[in-house]
Structure 1
């Protein structure tokens, strides 16, 4: 299954078993069955997905129940010939305890000053006994919804089932490299490679899938094609630049794709579907692959007659955003919309174009088209504001749409909405489909075959000690198997506020400073609620939410959960920070058409623009003399400085991973810097007095959102991606 190797200790991660075990053996303990050969853990007939290293840890301990393993012994077995820190083992133990749940977690006993012991009563089922279990002629895939204890990773089970029989469990063994065969309306894995398999596009007959994959080394995205069935994929491109967003032509002969020359610019190519010479049809088109939610949306689509390609521009450039058309021969380019729009998809008859528009969330709009491919009216919104759409496609008959919907960074599911004869009016609320957990991009062939990318991600907040030798803490703060980010300390340092999707949508939570006793304090219901920041007196929290518009600022009284809207503007407002005296709020806004830094009275009132040429996340220096801010929302970006009273802008440092990933201290700036790959994240320090930049800590994980400096400045919090990936899932005979 696809997963991203994050952390120094995961570089050698693989599917091998680090201990001697017969691959035909099974182990039973409590309600669980552990299959060595299939590398599957099941509870009462349901698969419990485990990351590879976590599976290895469980197998190692289950083979010697009652034995006290030392930490060094476990680390040597799990990561042979690789130096890892103890925090890697602690993290794997934490993941395993969560996966086993409340009843099974205590089986992993901590042996003080030594290591761990597995205390469950384990029974080994021999190969002979396993062979006596009757086989089944047709394997039915196990399809379960991810839960908080299983979402850490997904396991691809292509031809296996676990069933509960009278008096015990019957385990039906997976046949190696079995062809995915799904009953109607059942999703089965099509790919399960290491890394990220994204933006699928089906051939017209549904027999092949083109997709973008960052490869077995997870080092570069290229375009691949795979037959629906067994066999490896065919690699079509090998350029060192990122190749993405493949789109199969209606006649099945060529595949169009984008090659990114920068974060905001791409060239458009076509190449034969079976491989061959590339042909560039457009150079330097506006494009955007920055942004979490649309990393997998799929941003190109062919018109039914094969004469036009629709593509999405760059969200953050006023002259480049919107949906564009380009002639298939590259002779013409035209702009259809000028809003923040993504993922265009032509209807089967070519008379309508569906796309995702940034509103209060990200909603599906449909634009009517004339016979000459010009807008024939205004686009109509057809999905609810509260739904954050990540991908979409038309039904084969053109009478509705399938889309993946969720809250910001929250759980997504595939849904279907029927449209009236004008294709601009929904005939009712969206219908939840019985598959599509954590779906992003989705494509449907004329023959009724559906494919979607299923993504998973676990992000956590980590504490970094700044005393002498900066280092990550042994375990994350207030962890879950969902997203945690944008932390902030209360003024007295005793509490934390942070955003989490552990409730299914993004909400604000409060915990003790060490992450214990987490409590949800907002119930906005989505689609976004994040960036909490305590007031100086600790009574209120400033935050951003899209509950009533494209993005506004709110004040939260955490003790009562009272929420009051602070801004009410048609443009997006967000990334707010308090001034040092607590009388002013700085925030970023799109009121001028691009993000600029603004300020307003803390109690509400007129806003004043403060940055001259773009700016986000403005933070005052501790003495109140200067304003530090990120240049824009791209990654990487730079940190700039202005006198609080106005004056000349100065560039301070480049390489900031994202606009909210820096904090201002007495002596300088701490920030998360990004290298030439997402995993090459470091904690850097810029000293005010000397202008010297120093790398304090190589994180070894991909950066995530938000940082917080402790009031005593002896530690800080940051957020990282600890586990992530995506696979392609297949559904036959849809609808």
Structure 2
């Protein structure tokens, strides 16, 4: 009678040693050996291999892997795919022509290599693919196996009895102190009470708590489309009568920073031509110009503890990466302290340590990942404390200088976290708020409180007809961004957090009937790009181990891994015939453009002088945004039809590396986004063969992330826009 297939179970013991194909496998040591060659793999990767080795030649489904390897843990398909990829690398296997692990489409994987016991532990009988192994030794006599099983059962029963007696004793001892423990636990995790400081219409932002924690300075837009001005309120008083207006300017005044003695405030005043840094008495009066930073964008002013200088995040000309700068109060020029790559959005939110020796700041990379970093106030090496995959929206030092408190979106909504200055695991700060995203924490110098902004805002995708005004096209209560239009103009792919995580969604050309296409459930997804036939989408997604790789998603939502190399691959795009995928990678020391077959295979480098995104034009030329210089560059096709940068010309000068994905190609025209110092932007189109330029539309509130697409023929431009929301200031009086 045929035996039923036993279910896979993680309780099954690991085999001591196996031979799989050419490799000797030692599961307990997570080791593979072939002759003198030894390779180590991660424990979960080994468990995946053993899971398949228990049923060689049979398909192991995703659900069976989850039950066997990740029992009791919820993980995404990406985790299993990564384990399979790492396993193939270790075995020297290939997905397209496998000798060990075969992908069974829409089902799972199976081990196709022969499996046998290790030489010193096996009988003479070989186990071919299709046979079954168990946790015990194949070929052992049945009576011996039964004897070992009975002995094992007796030992387990003795251990269980000892465990039960130990638990009863522990419960007796613990019971006497349970009430005290519960009181300590609930006190430790009771949310800190946050009291409202403002509840004005419009946006209140940039909270700065005075050194003694009694007052909050902030910027407010007056409740509508008015310039921001600087105000002060008592931290513990919500009544409107306690609010004092310090500035009244037609320009935008923002980023207030208290002097260490609490007598003055510095702030930034910005126009289309640049920013100036001013000071004003905390009791009111006429602001005085401290430094005219012409052609400079300035954010996040903060005063040094010794009162001799200011730090700010800034960049020149409205493009390039933000860096941390120091501005002496003696009238000398600002000094750049950090210099992130030009492709990065850059470094924001600087904050001095209480002793003034170091600064913390937030660094945003090309693909959107963010680091909480520190650097000496005299310059030097940047140290990373923690990597966050999602938005970090401000930070400050604890009053004792031992921790950094930062706002980050770690679990679907931004909250406050604290981390030691030497690193470690971030700890959540429970706040009693009534909704909104927590951002921009500010801690009093004497440790007597914490202020923060509570924001209700989101991004949307708007449509702009040439010369017209933006009209909402795709909007929800969450984040909608990064649109891309199919070649026939019938479908829009975009990234949205409507489901709670970054996923690719698809709608019709009117923005109607949106549906979720991907199920990544966690990894950050970016830059979806339609294939020429409109049947699939290539995209980039950040894996759990930190690398950004490329994937192709079919119309049915099936995901195929395109790259799994260590490092990052970003900004994918299709060749005109759909046979190739262009992308940028840092496989060498610098970002370069590569191309690889859309069906999978090896990638070849295209550029030598750098590139962070590329698209083919209708004449076969390759258009490139570089990582080190502003501009949109044209690489003509060579004799073999492949464009390379042996001959390169700049079509447009004002495209910033940080806007590496804020451009697109439609036929013979390239559409690019050019930012202005006042925060607005201009959509310009350039004829790729003749360098003819036309202004198309003006847009505002464009975030620092990919978000430009065009309907065929330039009928309409799609742009990601920050939808104006509300923001209030709150205060935690008993923060420590």
TM range (shorter): 0.5 to 0.7
Equivalent residue, structure 2, for 1:165: none
- Counterpart contact for 1:443–1:451, Cα < 8 Å: yes
Residues 539 and 193 (structure 1 numbering): CA distance in 2 closer, same or farther, change over 3 Å? same
Q: What is the CA–CA distance in structure 1 between the aligned matches of 2:382 and 2:687, rounded to whole Å? A: 52
- Equivalence map 1:201-240=2 (5 Å): 201-216=208-223, 218-228=225-235, 229=237, 230-231=240-241, 233-238=243-248
- Counterpart contact for 1:586–1:619, Cα < 8 Å: yes
Equivalent residue, structure 2, for 1:342: 348
Equivalent residue, structure 2, for 1:444: 443
Q: What is the CA–CA distance in structure 2 between the aligned matches of 1:532 and 1:731, rounded to whole Å? A: 41
CA deviation vs aligned residue, 1:604-638 (integer Å, no higher than 9, x gap): 424333768xx6643322232x344568899xx87
Please identify, of 490-499 and 341-350, the stretch whose mean Cα deviation from structure 2 is larger.
Answer: 490-499
Please identify, of 700-709 and 596-605, the stretch whose mean Cα deviation from structure 2 is larger.
Answer: 700-709
Q: What is the CA–CA distance in structure 2 between the aligned matches of 1:633 and 1:303, rounded to whole Å? A: 32
TM-score by length of 2: 0.58
CA deviation vs aligned residue, 1:582-612 (integer Å, no higher than 9, x gap): 3444445689999x77343344424333768
CA deviation vs aligned residue, 1:172-194 (integer Å, no higher than 9, x gap): xxxxxxxxxxx993334433444
- Counterpart contact for 1:671–1:684, Cα < 8 Å: yes
| Counterpart selection for 1:509 from 495, 505, 512 | 505
Given the alignment of the two structures, is residue 402 of structure 1 paired with residue 405 of structure 2, yes or no? yes
Given the alignment of the two structures, is residue 578 of structure 1 paired with residue 574 of structure 2, yes or no? yes
Q: CA deviation at 1:579?
A: 2.3
- Counterpart contact for 1:202–1:209, Cα < 8 Å: yes
Q: What is the CA–CA distance in structure 2 between the aligned matches of 1:357 and 1:275, rounded to whole Å? A: 35
CA deviation vs aligned residue, 1:355-389 (integer Å, no higher than 9, x gap): 2233672132345x5xxx546986241x3544532
Equivalent residue, structure 1, for 2:595: 600
Q: CA deviation at 1:414?
A: 2.3
Q: What is the CA–CA distance in structure 2 between the aligned matches of 1:465 and 1:262, rounded to whole Å? A: 25
Given the alignment of the two structures, is residue 534 of structure 1 paired with residue 530 of structure 2, yes or no? yes
Q: What is the CA–CA distance in structure 1 between the aligned matches of 2:676 and 2:387, rounded to whole Å? A: 39
Equivalent residue, structure 1, for 2:300: 299
The SS at the match of 1:231 is: helix
Given the alignment of the two structures, is residue 564 of structure 1 paired with residue 574 of structure 2, yes or no? no
Q: CA deviation at 1:248?
A: 0.5
Equivalent residue, structure 2, for 1:364: 372
Q: CA deviation at 1:438?
A: 0.9
Residues 587 and 284 (structure 1 numbering): CA distance in 2 closer, same or farther, change over 3 Å? farther
- Counterpart contact for 2:354–2:399, Cα < 8 Å: yes
- Counterpart contact for 2:317–2:677, Cα < 8 Å: no
Q: What is the CA–CA distance in structure 2 between the aligned matches of 1:691 and 1:337, rounded to whole Å? A: 36
Equivalent residue, structure 1, for 2:203: 196
Q: CA deviation at 1:532?
A: 0.3
- Counterpart contact for 1:345–1:355, Cα < 8 Å: yes
Q: What is the CA–CA distance in structure 2 between the aligned matches of 1:529 and 1:346, rounded to whole Å? A: 34
Q: What is the CA–CA distance in structure 1 between the aligned matches of 2:727 and 2:378, rounded to whole Å? A: 36
Residues 224 and 642 (structure 1 numbering): CA distance in 2 closer, same or farther, change over 3 Å? farther
Q: What is the CA–CA distance in structure 1 between the aligned matches of 2:485 and 2:544, rounded to whole Å? A: 27
Given the alignment of the two structures, is residue 355 of structure 1 paired with residue 361 of structure 2, yes or no? yes
Please identify, of 347-356 and 445-454, the stretch whose mean Cα deviation from structure 2 is larger.
Answer: 347-356
CA deviation vs aligned residue, 1:37-74 (integer Å, no higher than 9, x gap): xxxxxxxxxxxxxxxxxxxxxxxxxxxxxxxxxxxxxx
- Equivalence map 1:259-408=2 (5 Å): 259-260=269-270, 266-282=275-291, 284=293, 299-314=300-315, 322-330=323-331, 336-339=337-340, 340-358=346-364, 361-367=369-375, 373-374=377-378, 379-381=383-385, 383-406=386-409
Given the alignment of the two structures, is residue 480 of structure 1 paired with residue 476 of structure 2, yes or no? yes
- Counterpart contact for 1:404–1:412, Cα < 8 Å: no
Residues 240 and 598 (structure 1 numbering): CA distance in 2 closer, same or farther, change over 3 Å? farther
Q: CA deviation at 1:224?
A: 3.1
The SS at the match of 2:532 is: coil
Q: What is the CA–CA distance in structure 2 between the aligned matches of 1:682 and 1:261, rounded to whole Å? A: 17
Q: What is the CA–CA distance in structure 1 between the aligned matches of 2:252 and 2:390, rounded to whole Å? A: 30
The SS at the match of 1:582 is: coil
Q: What is the CA–CA distance in structure 2 between the aligned matches of 1:726 and 1:278, rounded to whole Å? A: 26
Q: CA deviation at 1:443?
A: 0.6
Pick the structure with greater CA Rg.
2
Equivalent residue, structure 1, for 2:255: 245
The SS at the match of 2:284 is: coil
Q: What is the CA–CA distance in structure 2 between the aligned matches of 1:627 and 1:579, rounded to whole Å? A: 9
| Counterpart selection for 1:552 from 548, 551, 570 | 548
Given the alignment of the two structures, is residue 734 of structure 1 paired with residue 735 of structure 2, yes or no? yes
Number of residue pairs matched by the alignment: 521
- Counterpart contact for 1:308–1:327, Cα < 8 Å: yes
- Counterpart contact for 1:361–1:546, Cα < 8 Å: no
What stretches of structure 1 of length at least 5 have no aligned partner?
1-182, 290-297
Q: CA deviation at 1:671?
A: 5.9
Equivalent residue, structure 1, for 2:453: 453
The SS at the match of 2:578 is: coil
Residues 330 and 726 (structure 1 numbering): CA distance in 2 closer, same or farther, change over 3 Å? same
Residues 577 and 241 (structure 1 numbering): CA distance in 2 closer, same or farther, change over 3 Å? farther
- Equivalence map 1:391-430=2 (5 Å): 391-406=394-409, 411-419=412-420, 423-426=421-424, 429-430=427-428
The SS at the match of 1:609 is: coil
- Counterpart contact for 1:343–1:392, Cα < 8 Å: yes
- Counterpart contact for 1:486–1:498, Cα < 8 Å: yes
Q: CA deviation at 1:708?
A: 3.5
Please identify, of 436-445 and 643-652, the stretch whose mean Cα deviation from structure 2 is larger.
Answer: 643-652
Q: CA deviation at 1:232?
A: 6.8
The SS at the match of 2:735 is: coil
Q: CA deviation at 1:651?
A: 3.4
Q: CA deviation at 1:518?
A: 0.8
The SS at the match of 1:556 is: strand
Q: CA deviation at 1:402?
A: 2.3
Q: CA deviation at 1:500?
A: 0.5
Q: What is the CA–CA distance in structure 1 between the aligned matches of 2:668 and 2:381, rounded to whole Å? A: 57
- Counterpart contact for 2:672–2:685, Cα < 8 Å: yes
Q: CA deviation at 1:349?
A: 4.0
Q: What is the CA–CA distance in structure 2 between the aligned matches of 1:591 and 1:318, rounded to whole Å? A: 26
Q: CA deviation at 1:251?
A: 0.7
- Counterpart contact for 1:194–1:218, Cα < 8 Å: no
- Counterpart contact for 2:391–2:409, Cα < 8 Å: yes
Q: What is the CA–CA distance in structure 2 between the aligned matches of 1:346 and 1:701, rounded to whole Å? A: 29
- Equivalence map 1:18-167=2 (5 Å): none
RMSD over aligned Cα atoms: 4.7
Residues 522 and 233 (structure 1 numbering): CA distance in 2 closer, same or farther, change over 3 Å? same
- Counterpart contact for 2:218–2:232, Cα < 8 Å: yes
Q: CA deviation at 1:453?
A: 1.8
Equivalent residue, structure 2, for 1:651: 651
Q: What is the CA–CA distance in structure 1 between the aligned matches of 2:677 and 2:615, rounded to whole Å? A: 27
Residues 287 and 547 (structure 1 numbering): CA distance in 2 closer, same or farther, change over 3 Å? farther
CA deviation vs aligned residue, 1:248-305 (integer Å, no higher than 9, x gap): 1111012223345779x7544433223345455555499656xxxxxxxx63333333
